[in-house]
Amino acid sequence: MSKLYNVAIAGATGAVGIEMIKTLENRKFPIKNLTLLASSRSAGKKLSYNGENITIKELTKDSFEGIDIALFSAGGSISEEFAQFAVKEGAIVIDNSSAFRMDKDVPLVVPEVNPEDAFKHNGIIANPNCSTIIMLVAVAPLHKAKNLKRLVASTYQATSGAGATGMQELEDQTKQILDGDDINPQAFAHRIAFNLIPHIDVFKDNGYTKEEMKMTHETRKMLHHPDLKVSCTCVRVPVMRAHSESLNLEFLEDITPAEAREILNNAKGVIVVDNPEAKQYPMPVDAAGKDDVLVGRIRQDDSRDDKKGLDIFVSGDQILKGAALNAVQIAELLVK
């Protein structure tokens, strides 16, 4: 009989926490006992797992006795406060916040990209930013084959990236605009319905946002490529779920679109959707609910005089592969 594990989810009632529960169930993760943790406001409520109603407990420093794997998705400050108690009890923490991503002693892992790094942990493994995950599932196999030199990314990030409140705000504002009602933005800096906002997270002194710099630093860390040239522009768009990205890639070696398609067709976690004549290309409406990242619009960079540049377009489910699924896949790596 295969070993069963005691698993805890901290932040179980959030959009990602709920998706973690579904993902553990759908992938038949070997669970002995599942502990659901949240704030005192949610304690006592119930969530379903495998047909069983599990009562949510308040997250405290004493919540992790006997826990083997703790999935955290309750925000950076909560992870910083409580992850240490899980580690002290012998649990491995897989953290979905930005709290530990750039800590040199904490591996930052996407199983399709750098699975070997997961085993270098000291009790904590970090889940990357959702946009970084979706991007690198497509970019890493190309980098491995042709040595990436420079990457320019423009993101089209769904409201799901701001959690359930962001998704609700898009729905509410759409109705308000169509009904001629006034709008009062709460989750975003400006109205999101019938608009887009080139601003995600706070601005830094260099003019980039924190979200853009996360993608830069996380990409360099996971590809073990500290000198990689990266520039990102992150944009919030009125899409309910699934992020998309336009990527311009420069390699040290020549690469053709045909070569790229072959590489990506053989890559884990990727579905190539690239038939423009038939109007087939990645779109968030098609990526939503899918485990894999959709990749298409694969073409030579026509602004160059050589064959070292490519343009591609990707779409991936921010809540699944960009968060919950990636965390569960890290846990699957560990238990194998």
Catalytic position from the list 121, 232, 234, 243: 243
Do 246 and 154 touch, CB atoms closer than 8 A? Answer: yes
Q: How far apart are CA 41 and CA 45, in angstroms?
A: 9
* Identity of the residue numbered 233: T
What span, in angstroms and rounded, lies between the C-alpha atoms of 235 and 156?
5
Name the nearest CA neighbour of 287 among 112, 138, 74: 138
Look at residues 115, 112, 78 and name the one whose alpha carbon lies nearest to residue 96.
78
Per DSSP bridges, beta strands 293-300 and 309-316 are: antiparallel
d(CA 71, CA 32): 15
Q: Choose the catalytic residue: 130, 143, 232, 234.
A: 130
Listed in sequence order, the residues at least 6 apart from 318 whose beta carbon sits closer than 8 Å to its beta carbon are: 130, 131, 134, 157, 158, 160, 161, 241, 242, 243
234 is a catalytic site residue: no
331 CB-near residues (< 8 Å, 6+ apart):
7, 29, 69, 71, 94
CA distances from 35 to 9, 66, 68 (A): 6, 10, 11
Distance CA 299, CA 244 (A): 17
| 130 is known as an active-site residue | yes
CA distances to 101, 289, 329 from 76, rounded to whole Å, are: 10, 26, 21
Catalytic residues: 130, 243
